[in-house]
């Protein structure tokens, strides 16, 4: 019986989440709220850009959610053109592209770029970065780890699955 209770308690710890939401920016997302995870920090560059970040040194993961409220260009590029331009700009910061794909995220068209950065004396870091324009805003989700498998692990998947974008 004690084993069963310990198992339930351990599973419950993994289900805790800090929900972050913003009615004006029309989103809701859940960051892990388990031992070892930092409090979600919020950074704002005025009304234009905002980001929320949490990390776990023990899990070797950083999770970031961001919004960009920028004026759309006069000539609207297609989503594929927008994604190509975004990827080109992002790759200026990375060492190597691993993959990219179009997919659905929170019910919207999204683009994922998986890339690495090699940091001298620190090793290789893997990034899964999602870009998703919806309703006049651009949303971003970034998962960072020193272990590529963690980009698609349970924590990363739960983080992505928790994202909700209102119409």
pTM of the model as a whole = 0.86
Give the residue numbers spanning the domain of 66: 17-165
- Structural domain count of the chain: 1
The pLDDT confidence band at residue 1, using thresholds 50, 70 and 90, is very low
Q: What percent of the chain has pLDDT over 90?
A: 78
- Provide the pLDDT for residue 74: 63
Report, as an integer, the average pLDDT of 12-20.
63
Q: Could you tell me the sign of the dihedral formed by the alpha carbons of 40, 23, 114, 97, in that order?
A: negative
Q: Could you tell me the sign of the dihedral formed by the alpha carbons of 57, 62, 63, 67, in that order?
A: positive
Residue 36 lies in a domain: yes
Contact 165, 108 (CB under 8 A): yes
Residue 120 lies in a domain: yes
Of residues 13 and 135, more confidence is placed in: 135
Residue 3 lies in a domain: no
Residue 108 lies in a domain: yes
CATH number at residue 58: 3.40.1000.10
How far is it, in rounded angstroms, from Cα 118 to Cα 16? 33
Residue 138 lies in a domain: yes
41-99 pLDDT, tens digit per residue, is 999 987 789 999 999 999 999 999 999 987 656 667 899 999 999 999 999 999 999 99
């Amino acid at each position: 019986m004690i084993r069963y209770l310990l198992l339930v308690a351990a599973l419950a710890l993994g289900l805790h989440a800090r929900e972050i939401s913003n009615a004006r920016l029309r989103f809701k997302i859940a960051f892990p709220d388990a031992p070892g995870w930092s409090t979600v920090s919020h950074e704002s560059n005025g009304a234009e850009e905002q980001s929320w970040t949490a990390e776990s040194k023990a899990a070797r993961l950083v999770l970031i959610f961001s919004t960009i409220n920028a004026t759309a260009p006069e000539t609207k590029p297609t989503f594929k053109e927008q994604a190509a331009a975004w990827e080109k700009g992002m790759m200026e910061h990375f060492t190597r592209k691993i993959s990219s794909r179009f997919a659905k995220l929170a019910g919207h068209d999204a683009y994922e770029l998986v890339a690495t950065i090699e940091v001298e004396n620190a090793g290789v870091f893997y990034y899964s970065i999602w870009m998703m324009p919806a309703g006049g805003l651009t949303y971003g989700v970034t998962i960072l780890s020193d272990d590529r498998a963690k980009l698609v692990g349970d924590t990363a998947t739960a983080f992505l699955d928790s994202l909700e974008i209102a119409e």
